[in-house]
A = this chain, B = another copy of it.
Amino acid sequence: MSNKQLDELRDQLDKVNLSLLEQINERARLVKEIGELKREQGIARFDPVRERSMLDLIATNNQGPFETATLQHLFKQIFKASLELQEEDNSKALLV
* Interface residue ranges, A against B (CB under 8 Å): 1, 3, 5-6, 9-10, 12-14, 16-21, 23-34, 37-38, 40-41, 50, 54, 57-58, 61-66, 70-71, 73-75, 77-78, 81, 84-85
Contact of A23 with B20 at beta-carbon distance under 8 Å, contacts A30-B13, A34-B10 already known: yes
- Chain B residues with CB under 8 Å of A27's CB are 13, 16-17, 20
| Cβ contact within 8 Å between B30 and A9 | yes
Q: Take A13-B34, A17-B27 as given contacts and tell me if A78 and B74 are in contact as well, using a CB distance cutoff of 8 Å.
A: yes
Verify B54–A30 contact, CB threshold 8 A.
no
Which 4 A-B pairs have CB atoms at the shortest separation, nearest pair first? A16-B27, A28-B65, A9-B34, A13-B30
- Least CB distance, A9 to chain B, in whole angstroms: 5
